Amino acid sequence: MNILRENVLSGIVRSAHGRLAGGQEFDFLILSRTVVPELEFFSGSIGDVVFVSESVRPEFREFVLVYELELMGLNGSRPEYCVEALRHELELVPSCARTEYLQFRYCFFEELIATFQTFALSEKLAEWHECLKYLRRSVWEES
């Protein structure tokens, strides 16, 4: 965990402040892609700090961070929590951006699984697979 924390701290591009649709305010970090060079996009949390890679489009960052904040609030790591957080995240995406955002998140989770399937914790892989299934259904329903 200390190595991850050090990588996060050394990769800070800037800190930012966001406001959720419900008015809740939060601080987050925007990190350089060099922190996790294997991934085009990434997000996560360490303790009570959420972060997102600089490569995530600015108009999508709030939604990605909602997912991370939801997971923190659920205090656990179970596949159904992942899907619950994703469902909440997708509810906030405006209809005009929904199709593009669904494709973005589908690629996001697909890349996580492909990159980390050989050494990620099995619980994380199960969570990401459940999110991918949920997104697959959502994209299909949008078509």
H/E stretch holding 50 reads strand 49-53
Report the pLDDT value the prediction gives residue 23, as an integer from 0 to 100: 72
How many CB atoms within 10 Å of residue 9? 12
Q: Tell me how far apart the alpha carbons of residues 5 and 115 are, in angstroms, rounded to a whole number.
A: 20
Report the pLDDT value the prediction gives residue 55, as an integer from 0 to 100: 94
pTM value is: 0.82
Distances (CA, A) of 86 to 12, 38, 70, 91: 25, 23, 8, 9
Strands 49-53 and 43-46: antiparallel
Q: Which residue has the higher pLDDT, 100 or 17?
A: 100
Q: Say whether pLDDT at 39 is over 70.
A: yes
Report the pLDDT value the prediction gives residue 120, as an integer from 0 to 100: 61
Query: pLDDT grade, residue 2 (50/70/90)?
Result: very low
- Residues 89-140: tens digit of each pLDDT: 999 999 999 999 999 999 999 998 988 887 766 778 888 899 999 999 887 7
Both tokens of 112, joined, read: 């996580």
Mean pLDDT over each residue of the chain, to the nearest integer: 82
Enumerate the domain spans of the chain: 2-142
Query: pLDDT grade, residue 1 (50/70/90)?
Result: very low
Q: Say whether pLDDT at 5 is over 60.
A: no
Q: What is the DSSP letter of 40?
A: S
Report the pLDDT value the prediction gives residue 10, as an integer from 0 to 100: 60
